[in-house]
């Protein structure tokens, strides 16, 4: 960031750039205006009343200037020219006056209620701490209502916390320096006329300096405040530094498959690469991850193969428990061979565990047309459906369908008898 051909590192805390801000006060952009405003003290001997109202007008003009400087600083101009800033209307000075009156009203209320001096002190500390945040919001939004919203005040303080606390301390120190140290010395050493001019100039300078710093703090936190819409300039370090790393597209594809739980295809791709001589450490890590996922999340083929071996060993109960655990995980199941279905559904029927029968027989007829177990399997399903009153019509339709499609099947007479019994009932 450049100010009068000198580089400013705007990533540093404001105290480290304080000399730049002070130098700006005595530059051509600000110094002449502050001098003119300070000379208003010459009207004091003429009429104190005229001076009183003139001083209010001048203070409002100084505040307007301070808010213009704030807005330019917040936009990234570390050496703002004195100009009318479109972000801040002339009414902002009136809003500052309203804030001051609200504070005085609270003091008046404390005195009227006869509260102890402790309450006055607490309010003084609180208002001093919150006022800079209120001014920041007022400068950015030009809305007194938004600026006095506690949620917005808290957000500003939270966003800029370290710099904000440091600034409040600095803000209080400048006020104390002016009122406790400078003013007594000036009014004691100089004539009333000159002391008033010098005191006013220092007071206005401190005000501009503090608003500069507030704008600087907002600029430092511009991303958190989302200030893109206020004509914010772009700087080199606003752009994130992106480091490009060469990636293997096949490896990336494998990672995507693993993330999508398509472990089988991912593992197949890894094995193919290894067969072609790729023995990289990254591919080995992908292989380990795929195998781990396969152990933790077995595929349908793994489960179907395990169930088939268990059925062949005539362990129908254990085979069904493997199936039930797999289905409870929300998975769908396709048997390794169609003959595995019949013993599984028979076992389920014997234990009245019929919730998965329809899922096991889904599209069995289409997948294995003319299979010897079609009628027997669907007959078991029809019996299970009949046991539930809400699905008896579905059971009847299924039996009628079997009679119509398979009239010559060896077990069709049993089906017809069951259907006739249902109709009699």
pLDDT digits (tens, 9 = 90+) for 249-259: 888 888 887 77
d(CA 53, CA 220): 38
Specify the higher pLDDT residue, 296 or 239: 296
- Kindly state the average pLDDT of the residues 79-86: 59
Q: List Cα–Cα distances, 252 to 187, 249, 286, 315, in angstroms.
A: 76, 5, 10, 43
d(CA 360, CA 349): 13
Q: Give the pLDDT band of residue 165 (cuts 50, 70, 90).
A: very high
d(CA 153, CA 136): 9
Paired tokens of 252? 């990336």
The 8 Å CB, 24+ separation contacts for 165-173 are 166/13, 166/14, 166/15, 167/14, 167/132, 167/210, 167/213, 167/214, 167/217, 168/128, 168/129, 168/132, 170/14, 170/15, 170/210, 170/213, 171/128, 171/132, 171/210, 172/128
Q: Give the pLDDT band of residue 67 (cuts 50, 70, 90).
A: confident
Q: Give the pLDDT band of residue 297 (cuts 50, 70, 90).
A: low
d(CA 156, CA 214): 11
Flag whether pLDDT at 231 surpasses 50.
no
What residues contact 379, with CB distance under 8 A and at least 6 apart? 399, 402, 411, 414, 415, 418
Q: Give the pLDDT band of residue 1 (cuts 50, 70, 90).
A: very low
Among 46-55, 202-211, 251-260, 357-366, top mean pLDDT goes to 202-211
CA 372 from chain centre, in angstroms, equals 60
Instruction: Report, in angstroms and rounded to the nearest whole number, the Rg of the chain calculated over CA atoms.
Output: 42
Flag whether pLDDT at 171 surpasses 50.
yes
Buried b (16+ CB within 10 A) or exposed e, 343-361: ebbebbbeeeebebbeebb
- Kindly state the average pLDDT of the residues 388-398: 85
Q: Which domains, and CATH codes, for the chain? A: 2-232 (no CATH), 249-296 (no CATH), 334-424 (1.25.40.10)
Compute the residue count for the chain: 425
Q: Give the pLDDT band of residue 120 (cuts 50, 70, 90).
A: confident
**Half-sphere exposure of residue 196: CA atoms within 13 angstroms, side-chain side:** 15
Minimum mean pLDDT among 2-11, 86-95, 125-134, 350-359: which range?
A: 2-11
In three-state form (DSSP H/G/I as H, E/B as E, the rest C), the secondary structure along 329-372 is CCCCCCCCCHHHHHHHHHHHHHCCCCCCHHHHCCCHHHHCCCCC
Q: List Cα–Cα distances, 84 to 137, 201, 320, in angstroms.
A: 19, 22, 82
Beta bridge mates, 7 = 2
Flag whether pLDDT at 229 surpasses 80.
no
Tell me, what's the pLDDT at 129?
Answer: 92
3-state helix, strand, coil split of the chain in percent (to 5) is: 75, 0, 25
Q: What is the crossing angle of helices 92-112 and 48-74, to 10°?
A: 120
- Local structure of 219: helix, strand or coil: helix
Beta bridge mates, 6 = 3
Flag whether pLDDT at 170 surpasses 90.
yes
- Local structure of 80: helix, strand or coil: coil
């Amino acid at each position: 960031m450049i100010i009068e051909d000198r580089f400013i590192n705007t990533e540093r805390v404001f105290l480290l750039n304080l000399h730049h801000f002070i130098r700006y006060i005595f530059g051509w952009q600000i110094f002449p205006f502050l001098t003119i405003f300070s000379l208003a003290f010459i009207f004091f001997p003429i009429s104190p009343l005229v001076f009183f109202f003139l001083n209010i007008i001048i203070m409002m003009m100084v505040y307007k200037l301070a808010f213009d400087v704030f807005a330019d600083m917040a936009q990234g101009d570390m050496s703002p020219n004195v100009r009318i800033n479109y972000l801040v209307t002339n009414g902002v000075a009136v809003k500052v006056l309203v804030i001051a009156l609200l504070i005085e009203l609270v003091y008046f209320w404390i005195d009227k209620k006869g509260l102890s001096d402790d309450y006055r002190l607490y309010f003084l500390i609180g208002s001093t701490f919150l006022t800079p945040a209120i001014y920041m919001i007022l400068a950015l939004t030009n809305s007194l209502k938004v600026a006095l919203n506690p949620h917005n005040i808290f957000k500003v303080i939270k966003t800029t916390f370290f710099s904000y606390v440091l600034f409040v301390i600095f803000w209080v120190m400048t006020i104390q320096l002016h009122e406790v140290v400078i003013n007594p010395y000036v009014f004691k050493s100089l004539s009333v006329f000159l002391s008033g001019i010098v005191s006013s100039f220092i007071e206005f300078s401190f005000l501009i300096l503090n608003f500069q710093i507030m704008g600087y703090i907002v600029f430092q936190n511009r991303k958190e405040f989302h200030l893109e819409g206020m004509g914010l300039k772009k700087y080199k370090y606003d752009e994130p530094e992106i480091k490009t790393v060469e990636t293997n597209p096949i490896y990336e594809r494998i990672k995507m498959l693993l993330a999508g739980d398509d472990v089988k295809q991912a593992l197949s791709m890894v094995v193919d690469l290894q067969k072609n001589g790729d023995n990289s450490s990254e591919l080995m890590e992908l292989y380990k991850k795929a195998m781990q996922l396969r152990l933790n999340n077995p595929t349908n083929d793994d489960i179907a193969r395990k169930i088939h071996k268990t059925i062949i060993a005539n362990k129908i109960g254990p085979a069904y428990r493997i199936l039930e655990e797999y289905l409870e995980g929300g998975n769908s199941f396709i048997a390794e061979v169609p003959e595995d279905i019949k013993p599984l559904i028979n076992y389920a029927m014997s234990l009245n565990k019929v919730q998965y029968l329809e899922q096991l027989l889904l599209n069995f007829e289409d997948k294995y047309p003319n299979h010897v177990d079609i009628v027997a399997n669907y007959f078991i399903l029809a019996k299970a459906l009949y046991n539930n009153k809400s699905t008896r019509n579905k059971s009847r339709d299924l039996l009628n369908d079997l009679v119509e499609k398979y009239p010559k099947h060896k077990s069709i007479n049993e089906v017809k008898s069951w259907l006739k019994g249902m109709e009699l009932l």
